[in-house]
Amino acid sequence: MIVDCAIYHHGRRTEGPEDLSDALDLARAEGDAFIWIGLYEPTEQEFDLVTEEFRLHPLAVEDALKAHQRPKLEMFDDSLFVVLKPVAYEAESDVVTTGEVMVFIGDAFVVTVRHGECSPLAQVRRRLEEDPEMLRHGPTAVLYSIADATVDHYLEVATELQTDLEKLEAEVFSPSGGGSRHTASKIYTFKRQILEFRRATGPLTVPLTRLSGSGTAGARVPFVDEKAQPFFRDVNDHLARVNESVESLDRLVSDILSAHLAQMSVRQNDDMRKISAWAAMAAVPTMIAGIYGMNFDHMPELHWLWSYPAVILAMAALEFLLYHLFKRRGWL
């Protein structure tokens, strides 16, 4: 469905004809104007009119309709196609969710297609409409603002993940929480969320590098103003910080998981030592009682008056010695 459609002239929103073809012709005729159409999860039939009027490439249209794309930048004869993956983090459930924003820019037009609930488009449009000086730079300003808002939110998500990871780390190494059988599952789930975050941030480096003019031989990207390259470099720098944070988080989670497994192994060894110590202490009186329970006629001290108290006393003394021996060695 079409969420919003407007013509911007000299950076200000103006009313235009409802027909897309007439609106595009009007924007091109005015020179310093462009049309911006925003769509939310459009169907093929809904997108057909936009595809026809703006001559969008069928491969890019297919990607925009099906979604589930990696962040990328593709150049066609009549348009530039950019895919971004906004991210949201629900701290209460520790779940990272991603959406998708596809941006088509060309001669005097911008088409944005949104999939999922994670999207900065509404805020970007509102902020740009409040800043005509920025918006008068045309489709390039829209693309930059969307990329900048997406990456800035990456930084916020990375900070929230870092905070929750510190809490998880404190829980793992606490005297009581580290031994929970659900701890390993929580760590692994957290690692999966970081992986989902990385799928959004990692592939975006190449498109931003090309937009910033730092790609192969500094090749210019069509439909993007060269004067915007320093701004895209700034966004790319922020993205590099995000990727460094993601790498750091991933390594730290792996270290925490390894430490937790080692901690569990040590605790199991302690339990086995305690069980072995108690078993050894139980074996001594069992052995003595077994010997004197064989009912042979000729056994030492069998008819001695103090045999029974002496055997009981010997059992108690051996148990006492074994207990203190194991206790001193840390087995009990």
Mean pLDDT of 31-38: 86
Would you state the pLDDT for residue 103?
94
What value does the mean pLDDT of the chain take?
84
What distances in angstroms separate CA 88 from CA 197, 203, 286, one per listed residue?
9, 17, 64
- Overall average pLDDT of the 118-128 stretch: 87
Tokens of 265: 């192994």
Average pLDDT over residues 28-43: 85
User: What is the predicted pLDDT for the residue at 262?
Assistant: 75
Q: How far apart are CA 207 and CA 202, in angstroms?
A: 11
Q: Are 226 and 208 in contact (CB under 8 A)?
A: no
Which pLDDT score, from 0 to 100, does residue 150 have? 94
Task: Find the mean pLDDT for residues 223-238.
Answer: 91
Among candidate residues 185, 161, 166, 187, the one with its CA nearest the CA of residue 246: 161
pLDDT at 296: 65
pLDDT tens digit string along 152-167?
Answer: 999 999 999 998 888 8
**pLDDT of 178:** 56
For 16-36, what is the mean pLDDT? 76
**What pTM was computed for the model?**
0.78
Distances (CA, A) of 75 to 27, 93, 112, 144, 319: 22, 39, 16, 16, 83
pLDDT at 224 over 80: yes
Q: Are 34 and 46 in contact (CB under 8 A)?
A: no
Which pLDDT band holds residue 289 (cuts at 50, 70, 90)?
A: confident
pLDDT for residue 169 is more than 80: yes
Q: What is the pLDDT of residue 142?
A: 93
Banded pLDDT at 25 (limits 50, 70, 90): confident
Q: Is a pLDDT exceeding 80 seen at residue 326?
A: no
pLDDT, greater one: 178 or 290 = 290
